[in-house]
Amino acid sequence: MADKGITAPEARKAHYMDPAHAMDFDNLHLGHPPASMHNIGMLDLYVHVFGLDEIAGSKLPISIAIIGHGWANKASQLDLMASGIIGEVARLGRESGRRKTHDLLVVTLDQRNHGQRRNNKDGLRFDNNPKRLLHMATQLKGGKQDQQLVMDLLPAFLFPHEERTVTDFMSVGISLGGHITWRLVREDPRIKVAVPIISTPSETLGSFLSLVDRYGSVPVTPPAIAEYFFTPSEPGVYADAKILALHGEVDRVIHYTLGHEWFPRIQAQAPEGHIVRDIQPDFGHVVTPEMVSKAAEWLWRWGLSEGGTKVDLPLTVAALPALSVVDGEAAAAEGVEEALAPTVLAVSVESDEGV
């Protein structure tokens, strides 16, 4: 892989040659058939709703899970993952012995400046971009606002005559989408059940994005941006959360140790088993079928079925080194700089393929 002397484009090339970091969206259906999909136009925001036909005739309340895609990806790449979650939840409903309390809809949408909404190529550039914190803050705040708009108004678009009742929302996010998931849990009381995948808590993201050794330039950090990234969360804000943080053990983009300082503090705010972290060996900055399966079980257990006092997931939590990744020197001192070397958040904007 890359070393400190490698250029960002060379790092990207090395990354994509690494099998542990090869994202394969086509295997995320978990063997389940494609779920029904309806495209809903909320003015210029197009939302893809999965599973609506499957719950026709039911009178149960509905819980909507919103999946946020990663940087330089797009909503259409999540179609099979959405079907996998719906199919797996249906299987759990048949086989788990738990009483189903809510029907499930899964929703995807393009992040701002991604997919069908892509307009500004420079807005996706991270390497040697001193405005990267401004761009990421815009992306995160905008992504959060989009998902809040979906929560506010999508039920009315789907059921204009109140034919069904949507009572709950859950959040699943991949990489960039996972950062938005963390923000939603922290800042929107409607999101209690969440699965951030290959991402890091909001409390650590700003320090990571500020690393000059990684991104090649000192970031511009005006007061509003500093406040956004570096203001600590309020005490107890995670007390009612049910969070499953999923990571690849050899992730060279957002390594799980980035959350080492804050994750135990977040975890300590909730009862045991309510906030957990799962590390999948031999995989990097990717979503795997195992991650999708665990995400589906988490949603089923905490948001769709009766109970939720015990976690039966076969979680694999790797030992964490005794360090806090706050600056480049601390990371390098413990060897984490090498693990994080390839700059893949700086993915080429000539294609929508990426992380």
Q: Is residue 247 part of a domain?
A: yes
With respect to residue 349, please indicate whether it lies within any of the assigned structural domains.
Answer: no
CATH number at residue 106: 3.40.50.1820
Residue 346 lies in a domain: no
Domain that holds residue 209: 8-339
Does residue 29 lie within any of the structural domains? yes
What total of structural domains would you count in the chain? 1
Phi/psi region, residue 236 (left: phi>0; alpha: psi -120 to 50; beta: rest), is left
Residue 3 lies in a domain: no
* 352 occurs within a structural domain: no
Q: What is the C-alpha separation between 279 and 251, in angstroms, rounded?
A: 10
In a domain, 200, yes or no: yes
DSSP codes, 33-71: PPPPEEEEEETTEEEEEESTGGGTT--S-EEEEEEE--T
Q: Which helix (H) or strand (E) holds 177?
A: helix 176-187
CA–CA distance, 198 with 224 (Å, rounded to integer): 26
Picking from 31, 38, 51, the residue whose alpha carbon sits closest to that of residue 104 is 51
Structural domain contains residue 2:
no
The answer to whether residues 73 and 277 touch, using CB atoms and an 8 Å cutoff, is no
Question: Residues 12, 347: contact at Cβ < 8 Å?
Answer: yes
pLDDT values of the chain reduced to their tens digit, one per residue, 355 residues = 333 333 334 444 445 557 778 888 999 999 999 999 999 999 999 999 999 999 999 999 999 999 999 988 999 999 999 999 999 999 999 999 999 999 999 999 999 988 888 887 765 566 667 777 788 888 899 999 999 999 999 999 999 999 999 999 999 999 999 999 999 999 999 999 999 999 988 888 777 766 655 565 666 778 888 887 888 888 899 999 999 999 999 998 888 888 778 889 999 999 999 999 999 999 999 999 999 999 999 999 999 999 644 445 545 444 433 323 233 333 323 333 333 333 233 222 223 333 3
Token match 């089923």: residue? 300
d(CA 258, CA 345): 15
